[in-house]
Amino acid sequence: PAIDRYAVFGSPIKHSKSPQIHRLFAEQTGQSLSYEAQEVKAESFAEAVRAFFAAGGKGLNCTVPLKELAYRFASHKTGRAERSKATNTLALQADGTILGDNTDGCGLVGDLLNNHRITLAGKRILILGAGGASRGILGPILEEAPAALVIANRTVEKAERLAEEFECLGSIAGCGFEALAGRQFDLILNATSASLSGELPPLPEHLLADKGNCYDLAYGNEPTAFVRWGIAQGAQKSLDGLGMLVEQAAEAFFIWRGVRPQTHPVIDLLDRERKVVET
Ligand code: NDP
């Protein structure tokens, strides 16, 4: 029988680590499948997805800038995809329909809880940024029942609107960066894309509480500007999003294959590889 095909669509996609991650998962779990990266722009998204499934494709990951389009494309969605209004995983169902899910939030929470022993219950949490990534993580974070959740964004109205959209799930407020002065948080998550250009949102001093942690959703071969900021602020841990990337992939793999791969060996391997690149 033909090998089951999977792929990640996005633009730019050349540097995506998803093909390597899914190949490692397949090897580890003894699953026979292929997974490739395909450059797909928003204009050609619907056509590319139809062609992929028509040619026997079984599942897709969708990344920047396609997550909202993927959400609209899916014939039905999981609850967490509905709440985030974005989809990073499409799965062909037995009846030929396409299920849309969003595994980003559970990837982040899984990385924090299981890999780093950072709990969210009762904590004061700050999220920087109000774009697609924030949308994906808000529901799963609120499910952990933090004491308070604040979203701060450059465009203040976006943070306020996002907070309103999610306030039915727990205590949440939106504001601009200047409104953070004098406040303190136990966990600060950077979900802005500022790190991608080596920038940092304007953050006041003493924002991080004693023994607090920092987490940048972005990742790279070198520590991001926000990871370095966290270290300078005395964070207990200042982490980047490599673990989240692997955890969200593992959740997608589980949706497609019904098998849960181990994430530790894959995170360790990717982490060792980037340390080699650095030196
Ligand atoms: P979006 O483009 O949807 O949102 C970008 C956000 O960043 C907006 O809130 C924007 O503010 C803000 N922003 C951009 N530049 C700056 C700046 N210089 N200073 C302050 N704020 C800025 O991006 P996504 O939400 O899709 O992605 C955000 C980050 O999360 C990316 O770095 C991405 O790589 C990462 N990510 C990581 C994942 C993982 O698995 N590790 C998964 C998904 C995302 P404004 O609204 O004012 O424009």
pLDDT higher than 90, residue 153: yes
| 2 backbone dihedrals φ, ψ, rounded to 5° | -65, 150
Looking at the fold, whether 148 and 233 belong to one and the same domain comes out as: yes
Looking at the fold, whether 209 and 255 belong to one and the same domain comes out as: no
Model confidence at 275, pLDDT cuts 50, 70, 90, reads: confident
| 239 backbone dihedrals φ, ψ, rounded to 5° | -115, 160
Query: What pLDDT digit, counting tens, does each position of 227-250 carry?
Result: 999 999 999 999 999 999 999 999
- CA atoms of 222 and 237, how far apart (whole Å): 16
- CA atoms of 45 and 152, how far apart (whole Å): 31
Instruction: Say what the pTM is.
Output: 0.95
Is residue 216 within 8 Å of 224, Cβ to Cβ?
yes
Looking at the fold, whether 110 and 95 belong to one and the same domain comes out as: no
Whether 270 lines ligand 1, by a CB cut-off of 6 Å, is: no
Looking at the fold, whether 22 and 59 belong to one and the same domain comes out as: yes
Looking at the fold, whether 120 and 160 belong to one and the same domain comes out as: yes
Give pLDDT, residue 244: 98
- 84 HSE (CA, 13 A, CB side): 34
Ligand 1 atom closest to 65 (CA): 26
Looking at the fold, whether 166 and 271 belong to one and the same domain comes out as: no
Looking at the fold, whether 145 and 66 belong to one and the same domain comes out as: no
What amino acid positions are annotated as catalytic residues? Answer: 67
Looking at the fold, whether 137 and 249 belong to one and the same domain comes out as: no
Is residue 104 within 8 Å of 88, Cβ to Cβ?
yes
| Total of domains in the chain | 2
Hey, whose CA ends up nearest to atom 15 of ligand 1?
194
pLDDT averaged over the chain? Answer: 96
Whether 218 lines ligand 1, by a CB cut-off of 6 Å, is: yes
Whether 146 lines ligand 1, by a CB cut-off of 6 Å, is: no
- CA atoms of 125 and 114, how far apart (whole Å): 18
Provide the Cα torsion 74, 112, 151, 64; round to 10°.
Answer: -40
Q: At 209, which CATH number? A: 3.40.50.720
pLDDT higher than 90, residue 90: yes
Whether 10 lines ligand 1, by a CB cut-off of 6 Å, is: no
Looking at the fold, whether 24 and 146 belong to one and the same domain comes out as: no
List the domain range (segments joined by +) for residue 274. 4-102+243-278
Looking at the fold, whether 112 and 125 belong to one and the same domain comes out as: yes
Looking at the fold, whether 234 and 124 belong to one and the same domain comes out as: yes
Q: At 248, which CATH number? A: 3.40.50.10860
- Taking residue 23's Cβ as centre, other Cβ atoms within 10 Å add up to 15
